[in-house]
Amino acid sequence: MDTEPTRPADIERRSMEIIEAELGPTPWLGPSERAVLKRVIHATADFDYRESLTFSGGSVDSALAALSAGTVIVTDTNMALAGISKPALAALGCEAVCFMADPRVSAKAKADGVTRAEAAMNMAAELYGRKNAIFAIGNAPTALLRLCALAEKGAIVPALIIGAPVGFVNVTRSKERLAALTAPHIAAMGRKGGSAVAAAICNAMLYMLYDRGRSLA
Query: Active-site positions?
Result: 42
Pairing status of strand 160-163 against strand 53-55? unpaired
Transcribe 1-40 into DSSP letters: -PPPP-SHHHHHHHHHHHHHHHH---TTS-HHHHHHHHHH
b vs e for 28-39, b when ≥16 Cβ sit within 10 Å of the residue's Cβ?
ebeebbbbbbbb
5: Cβ contacts below 8 Å, ≥ 6 apart: 11, 13, 14
Q: Is the separation of the CB atoms in 47 and 22 below 8 Å?
A: yes
- 92 Ramachandran zone, left/alpha/beta (phi>0; psi -120 to 50): alpha
